[in-house]
Amino acid sequence: MRSWCVVVPRERGEEIRRLLKARGVLQKHLKVTEASGQLFLPTAERVDVGWPTEERECEEAFTPIRSYKDIARVPEELRPQLPTSFDVIGDIAVLKIPEALRPHREEIGRAILRANPKLRVVAHDRGVAGAFRVRDLEILAGERRTTTVHTEFGLRYHVDVARAYFSPRLGRERLRVAEQVAEGEAVADPFAGVGPYAILIARRRRAARVVASDANPAAVELLRRNVAGNRVDRVEVREGDARLVLRAAAPLDRIVLDLPHSAMDFLPDALAALGPRGTIHVYGILEDADRGDRVQAIREAAAAHGRGVESMRVHVVRAYSPTQHHVAFDVTVGPG
């Protein structure tokens, strides 16, 4: 491929290579070539470092790109802050970019696309916003869209990452919960989003019925599309407040409260919607020291509804921050 090159004597090559690398303009994925005692150092643009420049054809380097970090042109002092991972939803990459790197965010997006040929869009996640807590996204590189199709355990989900929340990192957790569903159960997922819990349960298990709902109309639109697209006939799609949906769907055998920042607010309604015996999967974002308090709070909520906790399993889903974890509490209750 054609690239600008800085032309230097061989004996000055390493010195100038380091200088270009420090400036973030060295094209490390292109080979340095030599001719007549001169080195041609490929650069991302024409640069003036006191040596001649020439545009010429350059070969791809033999060293494969291991990460977008290998080719992202950012100042060397900021390179340690490059995100180490990002969510891949269908063909869209979603990542959070530290404040210091935001002036270079479009370059980071382009580097991710170059290093990952199957991706078509890179978006910066500026946090959740609005009543439905969806991601506030900025497209950094690639196609100007937020819709995609994500495949998980052989099921296809239409997703709009800007209108309905979806996390690919919870796939194993969704499977873990689905595998607990017994034949004939009535299951409710009142925060269903685009349907990954409900549809997986309906396809993998012999539940009698699965009630999937969300308060976000955009999510429900995608949920209906995904139920039809995956040909599941035991999922009842509803739109509205989780409390009202649970009340109307009762009695239930299993409820998924996958809203980790506020699941405890809905626990009393879930307990009231259970049949004589049932299981609730309650999620939380917690410091390790707070797990015991959460266990006690769940027991107290059950007792307040005349229920006894028959079993409670605490399962760490994933790390959420350096000091917090996303934690699941699988709570089975019976009569008090």
Describe the crossing of helices 196-204 and 217-229 by its angle, rounded to 10 degrees.
20
Q: Which residue has the higher pLDDT, 104 or 57?
A: 104
Domain boundaries, the chain: 2-57, 81-145, 162-335
Q: Which residue has the higher pLDDT, 63 or 146?
A: 146
Question: Average pLDDT, whole number, for the chain?
Answer: 94
Contacts 24+ apart (CB under 8 A), 245-249: 245/188, 245/190, 245/211, 245/213, 246/188, 246/190, 246/270, 246/272, 246/273, 247/272, 247/273, 249/186, 249/188, 249/211, 249/273
**Cα–Cα dist 284/291, whole Å:** 9
CATH T-level fold of 81-145:
GMP Synthetase; Chain A, domain 3 (3.30.300)
Share of the chain above pLDDT 70, in %: 98
Distances (CA, A) of 61 to 75, 143, 273: 22, 28, 62
Which pLDDT value is given to residue 131? Answer: 78
Count Cα neighbours of 309 within 13 Å in the Cβ-side half-sphere. 18
Distances (CA, A) of 301 to 108, 113, 270, 278: 47, 48, 11, 15
Q: Which residues pair with 90 in a beta bridge?
A: none
Over residues 282-308, the mean pLDDT reads: 97
Which pLDDT value is given to residue 63? Answer: 44
72-108 core/surface letters (b: 16 or more CB in 10 A; e: else): bbbeeeeeeebeeebbbbbbbbbbebeeebeebbebb
Which pLDDT value is given to residue 66? Answer: 62
CATH classification of 2-57, choosing from 3.30.70.2860, 3.40.630.40, 2.40.170.20, 3.30.70.2580?
Answer: 3.30.70.2580
Phi and psi, residue 253, nearest 5°: -100, -25
CATH architecture of 162-335: 3-Layer(aba) Sandwich (3.40)
162-335 and 81-145 share a CATH fold: no
| Predicted confidence (pLDDT) at residue 154 exceeds the cutoff of 50 | yes
Residue 116 tokens read as 């990952």
Q: Which residue has the higher pLDDT, 123 or 57?
A: 123
| Predicted confidence (pLDDT) at residue 215 exceeds the cutoff of 90 | yes
